[in-house]
Amino acid sequence: MSLPLAATAAGGLALATLSGAGPASAATTPAPDHIVVVMMENHAYGQIIGSGSAPFINSLATGGALLKASYGITHPSQPNYFAVFSGSTQGITGDSCYQVGFSHAANLASEVIAAGRTWGSYSESLPSEGSTTCSSGKYARKHVPWFGFDNVPTSSAHTFGQFPGDYAKLPSVSFVIPNLCSDMHDCGVSTGDSWLKKNLGGYADWARTHNSVLVVTYDEDDKHSGNHIPTVLYGQPVKAGSSTSTSYNHYDVLHTIEDLAGTGAHAGKSASAQYISGIWN
């Protein structure tokens, strides 16, 4: 289902005042036309940042913004996906396949849609658009939280093959979920980094000149680093070569995406989370 873009989303590097922003938010924030969030798996900050096996991710960090103190919420994987999408783990404590549509809680997709903008997800190895299967080959629903919410259309869950080559046709906000090899869960760092460059490198280049943002983050660390994870942001609104040592977690990332998307709302613990500041043009 496609919804029209809000008029305030149009054009350039215009700044939008967010009346719905929480007390920790800046008074103004960039209004990117497109935000793409990519979720990677199970690696600590020190395993990626500065690693010769991850040249593409490190190039994003150098040319964009690096969060030096970014943290997952918990272990294992699945609750972190719910946290970054809805501001809550929604009672999920493990990786077992959850019931489709078990929650009506507010989430990033429902907020984006309510704000008159567009939402979509692109999952590698998802067998078909809207498929709610628990697993298929290297696809796993445990990395796809939106099917847990009855206020998110299943038709907005696309295969990665449907990721548009014309990036202007992307939804206002979208998540990309690589499969269990491409996200570094089952395969090595270099495999995941190469996948990102091949499949998102074009978007990253385009975002630098088209008022758009790429976020690459991880669900959790390797369970040996205090859940310290890599998170980088890249695109025209992002100050090149910037970094911050402020401590941020998935709720802060969600809060910031909500503000960038102009939702005027914050889901769950995102309402009391921080806006990521000091990295914007």
Convert the pLDDT of each residue in 212-226 to its tens digit: 999 999 999 999 999
* pLDDT tens by residue, 122-155: 999 999 999 999 999 999 999 999 999 999 999 9
Decide if 238 contacts 210 (C-beta within 8 A).
Answer: no
Q: Measured between alpha carbons, how far is 147 from 78 in angstroms, rounded to an integer? A: 13
- Residue 21, pLDDT > 80, answer no
Confidence class of residue 243 from pLDDT cuts 50, 70 and 90? very high
Residue 7: the pLDDT is: 30
The yes-or-no verdict on residue 79 having pLDDT over 60 is yes
DSSP-derived 3-state class of residue 105: coil
CA dihedral 63, 257, 17, 2 (to 10 degrees): 110
Is the domain 17-272 a CATH 3.40.720.10 member? yes
Per the document, the length of the chain is 281
Confidence grade of residue 5 (pLDDT, cut at 50, 70, 90)? very low
Can you give the residue ranges of every domain in the chain? 17-272
User: What is the reported pLDDT for 28?
Assistant: 78
Q: What is the mean pLDDT of residues 245-265?
A: 98
Cβ neighbour number for residue 226 with a 10 Å cutoff: 11
Name the residue type at position 209.
T
Q: What is the pLDDT of residue 134?
A: 98
Give me the mean pLDDT over the 270-280 stretch.
98
pLDDT at 17 (0 to 100): 31
Q: Give the CA distances from residue 32 to residues 9, 29, 56, 110, in Å, rounded to whole numbers and listed in that order.
A: 7, 9, 22, 19
Q: What is the DSSP letter of 159?
A: E
Q: Residue 11 CB: number of other CB atoms within 10 A?
A: 10
Whether pTM > 0.85 for this model: the answer is yes
